[in-house]
Amino acid sequence: MAADHDYTVGGNAKMAWAQAAAGFILTRKVDIAALLVLDAGTDLASASKITATEDIGVISIPDNTWVAQTVIRIITPSTDATATIDFGDETNVEGWDAACDITAAAGTNYYSNDAADAYNLQLASGKLYSAANHLDVLFNNDTTNGVFLVMALCFDFSNVDG
């Protein structure tokens, strides 16, 4: 089917590299046992475990940042019988990824790209955070240990001119 209007005649406008959105990756290593020691029952409900439904901010997102993709990588599997997490933000607690099993083998990766993930690359093309925000891990089970890395592929749109 032919397009009703052809706006491609004359070529595409090119943006100088200095004007392009700068890409960067934000990472945070989450060591549950170390977090429990550091907190010592101050903010968390328990000093011995992160209880189910506790939500922990893990990555600060600057304003005018487009998050394109996220990854959760298991470093040391949790030895708890069941330990799953959701990864999202204050709008959608599992917007980036849902029910990631942190008892999975070291090296297991969870990407925000399946149909159940609200912000996945294929359906929503990520999410623009016009105001500073944070990405959160929501624990679905009582969890005492395990280490994982959360990563967000981001682009800074604060200095992009149209």
What's the pLDDT score for residue 83?
97
Q: Where do the domains of the chain lie?
A: 21-156
Give yes or no for a contact between 125 and 68, defined as CB atoms under 8 angstroms apart: yes
Model confidence at 3: pLDDT above 50: no
Alpha helices in the chain (DSSP H): 32-39
Distance CA 97, CA 70 (A): 8
What's the pLDDT score for residue 77?
98
Closest CA to 54 of 133, 140, 148, 135: 140
- Provide the CATH topology of domain 21-156: Jelly Rolls (2.60.120)
Lowest-pLDDT choice from 17-26, 91-100, 106-115: 17-26
Model confidence at 118: pLDDT above 70: yes
Model confidence at 12: pLDDT above 80: no
Distance CA 91, CA 45 (A): 23
Buried b (16+ CB within 10 A) or exposed e, 105-118: eeebebbbbeeebb
Interval 47-83: pLDDT, tens: 999 999 999 999 999 999 999 999 999 999 999 999 9
pTM, entire model:
0.84
Give yes or no for a contact between 85 and 56, defined as CB atoms under 8 angstroms apart: no
